[in-house]
Structure 1
Amino acid sequence: MSFSRTLLLLLMAGQTAFGMDIITLPTPQSSQDTRGEYKNAVLYRALELTTSEYGPYQVNLNGPSMNRKRALLEIQEGQLINVYFAPDDPSWRDLTLPILIPIRRGILNYRLLLIHQDNIDRFANITTLEELKALKMGAQYDWSTKSYLENYNFTIVSGGSYEGLFVMLENKRFDFMLRGAHEIFNEVSQRATTMPHLTVEPHLMLYIPTPTYTYVSPRHPRIAKRIQAGLEMMTKNGDLKSIFDHHFSDEIKKANFKHRKILFLEESHKQQILNAPNIWFNPEQEAP
């Protein structure tokens, strides 16, 4: 095997080659998918903070594009990708090395409704979960949110891809999508020209406990230990909140938390925030 091919395989596998930790993540699922920007910024900071103990690092953001189901298979092998960020899921915790620090501070727990503007009046008088369940929700087939809400008897129309869901909503294949309060306004803005009928429902918010964790290939325990150490430092020195504020403060203002009806599926959020106020997003204190 040639030297260049050997080096390429080492890079893709994320081996600690030549004293350097190499982290490989998948390419975003579409050209308009910017969800990884914040998570990557957190990752870079965690790696930088641990340089004195673990040495140099390299991050490859150009791994193969893949949905979450395939990512779970690939990360177990640790060759094409070795790090992945995803909402909490028992399968991921069992089959990877999970780092259970909520890198998005639980902001994904707070979901706004993306709807077709022709249907805005249908949502105006909704005040209960039962009323919302009477409508059809769109979700990607492998999202943990889909199976979670199916257990609460939501009617869900499955989509095959992230970008395809927006197209389906524009064509009224379902009534709403749930999007994080930190991401929905940017998603609408990006598609304003090609999908002009997408809009944010103005008065509802759904609380679903879905913290985002970092999952590392079981073949790369050193990388897992390094990221864990870096994230722990970031929760203590304030770096995690600083990056969070930099990326999401404008979106949180637009979400208008204080003037929305929040429908709770679970009440566990209150204890989470009280137990770790430096980690979890607290809308009562941080949302204007």
Structure 2
Amino acid sequence: MVNPLLILCLLISSSAFAAEAIRVQPQRTAVDGSYLYYTDLLRLVLSNTSKEYGDAELVSISRLTQARAFQALHDNLIDVFWAGTSREREVFVEPIRIPLHAGLLGIRIPVIRKADQARFDSLHNLSDLQQLSACQGDHWPDSDILEANGFNVLRATKFEVMYQLLQAGRCDYFPRGINEVYAEVSHISRNDLMIYERIILNYPFPMYFFVSRDNPRLAERLTKGMEQLAASGELLTFLQQHPTTRDIFPLSRLSNSWIIPLHNPLLPELTPLTDRRLWIELPSRNSQSPTVP
């Protein structure tokens, strides 16, 4: 007969060493190929800090739009959310100010319809591009940034419909972060879209992990873990080797692209722009006019 006291001791011991559940968003859609980058990076940070803070595991909750996710984070319904930052967002939740992709989120490469390549090749100046329509998220800071720089933006609430809008001709291009675009386009079932590397929109726009202000221990843990990765160079190595981002490199192939520098009026004052460990710059010229294709 099993000793009841032994069972009770085993249950108490198992409970004491149970991993902490860290609630995160699920993958939005199969096209959201960059999702694994964030969860793998988060697991790495949690693993590297487990001796001091204990074991933790990720638990997915219901799918949320960015606006609802930030509200859920504020209300302690999720524990970690990753997104581009803005002044408004940093007022209500706690940012971990280590850019997750060394600032590459602000390097935006258009996805276009293959049938429109000649049309984009014929663009001669910034105003030509501004007359076209860009698909973007309704609550994304990118939409406000593009509009503040004179671009036409078609806003959509759900990420999964944006590529469909592009394919249907509702917008002319979908600017995606260089850290996102290759993984996403590789997951699109139809073969009518292409990554158009000749044009690059460039603005300072770091993506961070965010946590609730009511969870300072988790904020401290993620800050320590991310700072360790950045200081050791492991964060850059992770970026260069992860399956969803390794196709970004080498960046030298973009040296002849038409780089369009844009102003980000939403950038918080505490953004660590002067910490060169945290950023990667394009090895190319800035230009207001394209080269001949």
Q: Kindly indicate whether residue 160 of structure 2 is the aligned counterpart of residue 160 of structure 1.
A: no
Q: What residue number does 2:220 align with?
A: 225
* Partner residue of 1:82 out of 79, 94, 119: 79
SS of residue matched to 1:283 = coil
1:1-288 alignment to 2 at 5 Å? Answer: 20-60=19-59, 62-79=60-77, 81-191=78-188, 194-247=189-242, 248-253=245-250, 256-266=253-263, 275-284=274-283
Identify if the C-alpha distance between structure 1 residues 54 and 199 changes in structure 2 by more than 3 Å, giving closer, same or farther. Answer: same
Q: What residue number does 2:11 align with?
A: none
Residues 41 and 243, structure 1, Cα contact 8 Å, conserved in 2: no
Identify if the C-alpha distance between structure 1 residues 273 and 64 changes in structure 2 by more than 3 Å, giving closer, same or farther. Answer: closer
1:80-123 per-position Cα deviation (integer Å, ceiling 9, x unaligned):
x1100000122221111111110111111111111111211121
Alpha-carbon deviation of 1:226?
Answer: 0.5
Alpha-carbon deviation of 1:220?
Answer: 1.4
Q: Distance in 2 between matches of 1:255 and 1:149?
A: 25
Moved more, 168-177 or 152-161: 152-161
Provide structure 1 residue ranges, at least 5 long, that are not aligned to the other structure: 1-16
Residues 127 and 261, structure 1, Cα contact 8 Å, conserved in 2: no
Alpha-carbon deviation of 1:254?
Answer: 8.0
- Calculate the TM-score normalised by the size of structure 2: 0.82
Identify if the C-alpha distance between structure 1 residues 273 and 18 changes in structure 2 by more than 3 Å, giving closer, same or farther. Answer: closer
- Calculate the TM-score normalised by the size of structure 1: 0.84
Aligned residues: 263
Identify if the C-alpha distance between structure 1 residues 197 and 49 changes in structure 2 by more than 3 Å, giving closer, same or farther. Answer: same
Q: Over aligned residues, Cα RMSD in angstroms?
A: 2.4
Letter in 2 for 1:205: I
Q: Distance in 2 between matches of 1:100 and 1:132?
A: 32
Q: Distance in 2 between matches of 1:22 and 1:225?
A: 17
Q: What residue number does 1:14 align with?
A: none
1:98-154 per-position Cα deviation (integer Å, ceiling 9, x unaligned):
111101111111111111112111211324322210111111211110112111221
Alpha-carbon deviation of 1:189?
Answer: 2.1
Identical aligned residues as a percent: 24
Provide structure 2 residue ranges, at least 5 long, that are not aligned to the other structure: 1-15, 285-293
Q: Distance in 2 between matches of 1:195 and 1:210?
A: 30
